[in-house]
């Protein structure tokens, strides 16, 4: 198996201040590496956030014995018709997952206050709402994950009427994150200006929440709420480097 990872920026490399445009993660057999890299290049040059002028694609072999399997989260969809309702649903879902009300409010505030989208996620204490990583605008990027039995997975999404790229990718990522050490919950909404649905995920499930931001808003981000006694080094190692296949 091979990990294929893409990140694209506008105005130079991410490390040199370039604006993040898009990213993608796959774990595929050798015979699918070429088509996967081609699809990632096409995506980098046709994203709604703008056209990239820097694209980095990494292909890395992974031994099968190094791949961890985690369960796919169950999906449900909340009802919300305005941004205020969507954020209220998100707050209640975070509290139900084990985040304090203070932590939930702070997480929502931090995402709403972003000047631009981050490449990775913020780590917040689920009790105090205090940010625990020191990565600034970069965040902690989740890497090296994919879904097993992709056709079965796609069929399940079609049955639920949610077969789109945003759900496919976010559900795989959220399933990996939820299995991480110390994770309580995740809050996320997309940086795609045409996609306003966000989600709250936790080990008990993945809740889609319509209208987490206004239509046309191109700023998105994600937050991982973690237990205060979490081993941060172990969690970062899992999120960034542990290869994962999500099983159905």
Q: Mind listing the pLDDT tens digit for each residue in 175-194? A: 999 999 999 999 999 988 99
Tens-place pLDDT, residues 199-248: 999 999 999 999 999 999 989 999 999 999 999 999 999 999 999 999 98
**What's the pLDDT at 121?**
96
Task: Encode burial over 47-64: b for 16+ CB neighbours within 10 A, e otherwise.
Answer: bebeebebbebebeeeee
Using one digit for the tens of pLDDT, what is the confidence trace for 36-49?
999 988 888 876 66
- Domain range summary for the chain, segments of one domain joined by +: 2-66, 69-247
> Does pLDDT of 119 surpass 60?
yes
Q: What is the chain's Cα-based Rg?
A: 17
Q: Is the pLDDT of residue 107 over 80?
A: yes
Note the pTM of the prediction, 2 decimals. Answer: 0.88
Structure tokens at 33: 């590496």
């Amino acid at each position: 198996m091979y990990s294929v990872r893409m990140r694209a920026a506008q105005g130079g490399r991410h490390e040199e201040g370039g604006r993040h445009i898009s990213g993608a993660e796959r774990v595929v057999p050798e015979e699918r590496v070429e088509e996967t890299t081609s699809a990632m290049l096409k995506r980098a040059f046709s994203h709604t956030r703008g056209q990239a002028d820097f694209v980095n694609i990494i292909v890395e072999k992974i031994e099968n014995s190094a791949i961890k399997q985690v369960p796919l989260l169950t999906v449900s969809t909340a009802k919300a018709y305005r941004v205020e309702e969507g954020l209220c649903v998100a707050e209640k879902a975070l509290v139900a997952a084990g985040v304090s009300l203070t932590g939930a409010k702070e997480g929502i505030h931090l995402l709403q206050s972003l000047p631009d989208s981050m490449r990775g996620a913020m780590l917040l204490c689920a009790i105090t709402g205090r940010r625990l990583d020191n990565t600034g605008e970069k965040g902690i990027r989740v890497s090296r994950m994919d879904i097993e039995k992709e056709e079965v997975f796609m069929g399940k999404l079609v049955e639920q009427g949610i077969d789109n790229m945003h759900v496919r990718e976010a559900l795989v990522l959220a399933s990996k994150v939820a299995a991480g050490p110390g994770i309580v919950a995740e809050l996320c909404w997309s940086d795609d200006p045409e996609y306003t649905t966000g989600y709250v995920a936790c080990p008990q499930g993945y809740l889609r929440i319509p209208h987490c931001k206004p239509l046309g808003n191109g700023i998105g981000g994600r937050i991982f709420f973690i237990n205060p006694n979490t081993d941060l080094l172990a969690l970062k190692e899992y999120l960034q480097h542990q290869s994962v296949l999500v099983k159905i």
